[in-house]
Amino acid sequence: MTLASLNPDIVVIGAGTSGLSSAKSLKDFGYSVIVIEANSDVGGRCITNNSIFDTPFDLGGSWLHSAATNPLANIAIKKNAKLHKKNWSPTWVHSNGRDLSPQETKEYSQYIEDMWKNINNIGTRKDDLSVEKLIPKSKWKDIAKNQISLMLAADPDVSSALDVFHFTNTKGDWLIESGLGTFIKNIYSDIKVFVNCPASKIDYSSSGVKVETPQGIINAKYAVLTVSTGVLAREQIKFYPALPPRKQEAINLLPIGLLNKIGLEFDPRWKGAHQGQSADYLIGENDFCSIEFGFYDSNIAVGFVGGRFAEQLEMDGPGTATSFCLDSLKAIFGNDIVKFIHKTTETAWKSNKNTHGSYSYAVPGGHGARQTLAEPLDDRLFFAGEATMSNTQATVHGAYLSGIEVAEKISKIDK
């Protein structure tokens, strides 16, 4: 039986969290569903690697953010997943050639907290501003700007403050010991996915949809498209008719940002840092990384680089981000620290042709584009994925919720 002969009710394009979640909900509504995925594996931007280190390593999403209201956190509890609930905070801060004193580190942490409050005050205004315009003047401003680049995967001068304001942030950032990618994969292990099967064209010109793939053309009543705004912006999928200008504009207002990770496996004999502790390192105005120790309470530390600086490191070639991270560790803990690091790895999400980055951000004035991106076309072509969410954007739980929402939309229209 060929893929083209299956004629499902719905074809879901992309087997990341949103695609898998929509497929499950649609099946629960009684539809026949086919899921196609460009990559050789499922998971998209939420994927665990189990072979680099002895400990699972999430290459993409790892935290269940806003655990108090995160539906995936609830599922994890019900499934008795081993959870790590400790929060990280700056323990060592090295800014432009010197270590901050413990008192300064405390002041810096407080400043970061106040800065987020200030950004969130944008909610009282109707117009939008860049996040940068709301960072209070202070000697900590440079380092704070770089912290924001990690959170948003984009620099504060290009990011919408309203988009940050609308993000629902509740307490708790939890890690799942098996890796969040493995957890998501396990929840949806019963969903059949056709891998190595990229959609190249979607024809939604008459009743139903036709999706072209290397394994044949799939005819279905509806399509759910879940690819990143990076993939959409690069027009890797052709549309017939072409996407309307307002949809195209929404894609342009929601670029994909960049956050890369550097994984470091320490010799267990190194007891210099523990779970919950982190080291921030800044040199110049923009060269910044934050290293968080004791992931999953193991000897794994994870360095993060974000925004333009992460792009620069990735463009400069494999190993550049790792070298920067190791230099940061040497500056903070002394040169001998590298003797305790047994293995390293780094991600390169910008170069990933199935995503082109890490997660979406809105440019100033772009928050409303999330709703536009979520709107179906001709009640046949539906959109899901983290970028379509107005309050849980850029997250795994946002992707999960978008999959459920799109299934509900289809079932209402189909009545």
Query: Contact residues for ligand FAD (CB under 6 A)?
Result: 13-19, 36-39, 44-46, 60-63, 65, 198-199, 226-228, 231, 236-237, 259, 261, 347, 349, 354-355, 358-359, 385-386, 394-397, 399
Of residues 50 and 335, the one with the C-beta less far from ligand FAD:
50
- Using the minimum distance from each CB to ligand FAD, give the nearer residue, 234 or 342: 234
Residues in CB range of 24: below 8 A, 6 or more apart = 188, 191, 403
Q: How far is the CB of 389 from ligand FAD (least distance, A)?
A: 9
Which segments of 245-285 are extended strands (E)? 259-266, 277-283
Can you say how many angstroms the Cα of residue 59 is from the centroid of all Cα atoms in its chain? 10
Residue type, 28: D
CB nearer ligand FAD, residue 111 or residue 230: 230
Q: Which residue is listed with tokens 């074809």?
A: 11
Min dist CB 127 to ligand FAD, Å, is: 27
How many CB atoms are closer than 10 A to CB 71?
14
Measured distance CA(370)–CA(362) in Å, rounded? 8
**244 near 232, Cβ under 8 Å?**
no
Quick one: three-class SS letters along 95-116?
ECCEECCHHHHHHHHHHHHHHH
Q: Which is nearer to ligand FAD, 59 or 331 (CB)?
A: 59
Rounded least distance, CB 64 to ligand FAD, Å: 7
* Cα–Cα dist 245/271, whole Å: 56
Shortest approach of ligand FAD to residue 106 CB, angstroms? Answer: 26
Dist CA 5 CA 249 (whole Å): 35
Q: By C-beta, is 8 or 44 nearer to ligand FAD?
A: 44
Smallest separation, CB 189 to ligand FAD (Å): 16
DSSP string over 42-105:
SBTT--EESSSSSS-EESS--EE-SGGG-HHHHHHHHTT--EE-PPPEEEEEEETTEEPPHHHH
Minimum distance of ligand FAD from residue 90's CB (angstroms): 18
Task: Please tell me whether the peptide bond between 241 and the residue prior to it is cis, using omega within 30 degrees of 0.
Answer: yes
Nearer Cβ to ligand FAD (131/387): 387
In the complex, minimum distance from the CB of residue 143 to ligand FAD, in angstroms, rounded to a whole number: 21
Tell me the closest approach of the beta carbon of residue 104 to ligand FAD, in angstroms: 28
Phi, psi (rounded to 5 degrees) for 365: 90, 0
Pick between residue 160 and residue 358 the one whose CB is nearest to ligand FAD.
358
Cβ distance to ligand FAD smaller for residue 252 or 354: 354
Three-state DSSP state, 263: strand
CB neighbour class for 4 (10 Å; exposed up to 12, middle 13-18, buried from 19): middle
Which of residues 118 and 275 has its CB atom nearest to ligand FAD in the complex?
Answer: 275
> Shortest distance, CB of residue 236 to ligand FAD, whole angstroms?
6
